[in-house]
Amino acid sequence: MSCIRHLLTIQQSEWSVYSALTTVEGLSHWWTPRVSGDPGEGGSLRFYFDSYYKEMQVIKNEPPKTLVWRCTEGVPEWIDTVITFEIIKRNENACQLLFNHDKWPPFTRLFYQCSYDWAMFLRSLKKYVETGSGHPYPNQHAWDVSESITG
Protein backbone atom coordinates (compact mmCIF):
# COMPACT_ATOMS: atom_id res chain seq x y z
CA MET A 1 0.00 0.00 0.00
CA SER A 2 1.12 3.55 -0.74
CA CYS A 3 0.88 6.61 1.50
CA ILE A 4 0.81 10.36 0.97
CA ARG A 5 2.64 12.22 3.76
CA HIS A 6 3.03 15.91 4.50
CA LEU A 7 4.39 17.83 7.49
CA LEU A 8 3.88 21.53 8.04
CA THR A 9 4.35 24.07 10.80
CA ILE A 10 1.43 26.36 11.52
CA GLN A 11 1.89 29.54 13.52
CA GLN A 12 -1.23 29.11 15.66
CA SER A 13 -2.32 27.01 18.61
CA GLU A 14 -3.19 23.37 18.20
CA TRP A 15 -6.80 24.22 19.12
CA SER A 16 -7.05 26.60 16.14
CA VAL A 17 -5.85 23.87 13.77
CA TYR A 18 -8.11 21.30 15.44
CA SER A 19 -11.13 23.58 14.97
CA ALA A 20 -10.34 24.06 11.26
CA LEU A 21 -10.28 20.26 10.86
CA THR A 22 -13.29 19.33 13.00
CA THR A 23 -16.01 21.86 12.20
CA VAL A 24 -18.06 22.12 9.02
CA GLU A 25 -17.35 25.87 8.97
CA GLY A 26 -13.60 25.38 9.38
CA LEU A 27 -13.40 22.68 6.70
CA SER A 28 -15.34 24.87 4.26
CA HIS A 29 -12.74 27.63 4.55
CA TRP A 30 -9.76 25.57 3.40
CA TRP A 31 -10.88 22.40 1.53
CA THR A 32 -14.21 22.91 -0.24
CA PRO A 33 -17.00 25.36 0.56
CA ARG A 34 -19.65 22.64 0.24
CA VAL A 35 -19.34 20.43 3.32
CA SER A 36 -22.10 18.72 5.27
CA GLY A 37 -22.40 16.16 8.01
CA ASP A 38 -21.31 15.35 11.54
CA PRO A 39 -17.61 15.91 12.32
CA GLY A 40 -17.82 14.06 15.65
CA GLU A 41 -16.35 10.61 16.21
CA GLY A 42 -18.65 8.07 14.53
CA GLY A 43 -20.14 10.72 12.24
CA SER A 44 -19.75 11.17 8.50
CA LEU A 45 -18.73 14.18 6.46
CA ARG A 46 -19.49 14.78 2.80
CA PHE A 47 -17.22 17.02 0.71
CA TYR A 48 -18.65 18.23 -2.62
CA PHE A 49 -16.50 19.03 -5.68
CA ASP A 50 -18.50 20.09 -8.75
CA SER A 51 -20.31 16.93 -9.91
CA TYR A 52 -18.88 14.46 -7.38
CA TYR A 53 -18.31 14.10 -3.66
CA LYS A 54 -16.19 12.25 -1.14
CA GLU A 55 -17.66 10.90 2.09
CA MET A 56 -15.54 10.33 5.17
CA GLN A 57 -16.42 8.38 8.27
CA VAL A 58 -14.86 9.93 11.37
CA ILE A 59 -12.99 6.99 12.93
CA LYS A 60 -11.17 8.89 15.68
CA ASN A 61 -11.52 12.40 17.07
CA GLU A 62 -9.16 13.00 19.98
CA PRO A 63 -9.08 16.74 20.78
CA PRO A 64 -6.81 18.55 20.01
CA LYS A 65 -4.34 15.90 18.87
CA THR A 66 -5.65 13.36 16.39
CA LEU A 67 -8.32 13.10 13.73
CA VAL A 68 -8.78 9.99 11.57
CA TRP A 69 -11.16 9.58 8.63
CA ARG A 70 -11.91 6.59 6.40
CA CYS A 71 -13.23 7.27 2.90
CA THR A 72 -16.52 5.43 2.37
CA GLU A 73 -17.67 7.05 -0.90
CA GLY A 74 -15.83 8.69 -3.77
CA VAL A 75 -13.65 7.66 -6.68
CA PRO A 76 -12.72 3.95 -6.43
CA GLU A 77 -9.06 4.58 -5.51
CA TRP A 78 -10.13 6.62 -2.46
CA ILE A 79 -12.53 4.01 -1.01
CA ASP A 80 -11.19 2.59 2.28
CA THR A 81 -8.17 4.92 2.29
CA VAL A 82 -7.46 6.43 5.72
CA ILE A 83 -6.63 10.08 6.36
CA THR A 84 -4.89 11.03 9.62
CA PHE A 85 -4.23 14.52 10.95
CA GLU A 86 -1.88 14.53 13.94
CA ILE A 87 -1.38 17.90 15.65
CA ILE A 88 1.81 18.34 17.66
CA LYS A 89 2.05 21.36 19.95
CA ARG A 90 5.36 23.24 19.64
CA ASN A 91 4.54 26.20 21.93
CA GLU A 92 1.54 28.41 22.74
CA ASN A 93 1.52 29.92 19.26
CA ALA A 94 2.74 27.16 16.97
CA CYS A 95 2.18 23.52 16.16
CA GLN A 96 3.07 20.98 13.52
CA LEU A 97 0.58 19.04 11.49
CA LEU A 98 1.56 15.54 10.42
CA PHE A 99 -0.73 14.44 7.60
CA ASN A 100 -1.01 10.88 6.25
CA HIS A 101 -3.32 9.54 3.56
CA ASP A 102 -2.80 5.77 3.85
CA LYS A 103 -3.92 2.52 2.23
CA TRP A 104 -3.71 3.61 -1.38
CA PRO A 105 -3.51 0.92 -4.03
CA PRO A 106 -0.11 0.70 -5.73
CA PHE A 107 1.05 3.96 -7.30
CA THR A 108 -1.34 5.37 -9.88
CA ARG A 109 -1.65 8.69 -11.67
CA LEU A 110 -4.41 9.67 -9.23
CA PHE A 111 -2.09 8.98 -6.29
CA TYR A 112 0.46 11.46 -7.65
CA GLN A 113 -2.21 14.04 -8.43
CA CYS A 114 -3.75 13.70 -4.96
CA SER A 115 -0.35 14.13 -3.30
CA TYR A 116 0.05 17.44 -5.13
CA ASP A 117 -3.54 18.48 -4.38
CA TRP A 118 -3.18 17.65 -0.68
CA ALA A 119 -0.10 19.91 -0.58
CA MET A 120 -2.20 22.75 -2.04
CA PHE A 121 -5.09 22.14 0.36
CA LEU A 122 -2.80 21.88 3.38
CA ARG A 123 -1.23 25.17 2.33
CA SER A 124 -4.78 26.56 2.24
CA LEU A 125 -5.39 25.17 5.75
CA LYS A 126 -2.21 26.84 7.03
CA LYS A 127 -3.20 30.16 5.46
CA TYR A 128 -6.75 29.92 6.82
CA VAL A 129 -5.62 29.18 10.38
CA GLU A 130 -2.90 31.84 10.36
CA THR A 131 -4.80 34.64 8.55
CA GLY A 132 -8.50 33.75 8.55
CA SER A 133 -8.58 33.31 4.76
CA GLY A 134 -7.76 30.08 2.91
CA HIS A 135 -7.98 29.00 -0.73
CA PRO A 136 -10.58 26.21 -0.79
CA TYR A 137 -11.66 24.37 -3.94
CA PRO A 138 -11.78 25.45 -6.72
CA ASN A 139 -9.25 28.17 -5.88
CA GLN A 140 -6.57 26.06 -4.18
CA HIS A 141 -4.05 27.03 -6.88
CA ALA A 142 -4.84 30.78 -6.68
CA TRP A 143 -1.73 31.96 -4.86
CA ASP A 144 -0.22 35.41 -5.11
CA VAL A 145 3.38 35.05 -6.26
CA SER A 146 4.51 37.16 -3.31
CA GLU A 147 3.05 34.68 -0.79
CA SER A 148 5.48 32.28 0.77
CA ILE A 149 5.04 29.11 2.79
CA THR A 150 7.77 29.01 5.39
CA GLY A 151 8.07 27.01 8.55
pLDDT tens profile 16-51: 999 999 999 999 999 999 999 999 999 999 999 998
DSSP 8-state class, residue 79 = T
Indicate the domain borders of the chain.
2-131
| Topology, domain 2-131 | Alpha-D-Glucose-1,6-Bisphosphate; Chain A, domain 4 (3.30.530)
Residue from 64, 46, 38 nearest 129 by CA: 64
Residues in Cβ contact with 107 at an 8 Å cutoff, skipping those fewer than 6 apart: 2
pTM > 0.85: yes
pLDDT tens digit string along 77-136?
999 999 999 999 999 999 999 999 999 987 788 999 999 999 999 999 999 999 999 999
What confidence score (pLDDT) does residue 138 get? 84
Q: In Å, how far are 3, 99, 118 from 104, measured between CA atoms?
A: 6, 14, 14
